[in-house]
Amino acid sequence: MEPHRFEQAGAVFEVAFERAPEGWLARIRREGTDTVHVVGFPDGPGYDPADLRDSLIAGCEAAVSNLPWAPPTRH
């Protein structure tokens, strides 16, 4: 599945998707940092199987505000 980029609260995020035996994994990275958060989406109810990619993207965009991100540094 193709990666996805989006902006939220002035920060740019990149998401790489990976199929796992029990569902999907999304590796979310905020641009300019090395920190990666892995979010799991198990197979089953919770996303639209007819529009899987957009469902996973919506889940990632919703999760970003709840993930612990270090404040950006200014050099």
Per residue in 18-60, pLDDT (tens digit) is: 999 999 999 999 998 989 999 999 988 777 778 889 999 999 9
- Structure token pair of residue 25: 């994994």
The set of residues, in sequence order, having a beta carbon less than 8 Å from that of 67 and lying 6+ positions away, is 28, 37, 39
72 burial via Cβ count (<10 Å: 0-12, 13-18, 19+)? exposed
Instruction: Return the pLDDT at 13.
Output: 97
Instruction: Return the pLDDT at 11.
Output: 93
Instruction: Return the pLDDT at 14.
Output: 97
Q: How confident is the model at residue 69 (pLDDT cuts 50, 70, 90)?
A: confident
Global confidence as pTM: 0.86
Alpha carbons 72 and 7: distance in angstroms, whole number: 15
74 burial via Cβ count (<10 Å: 0-12, 13-18, 19+)? exposed
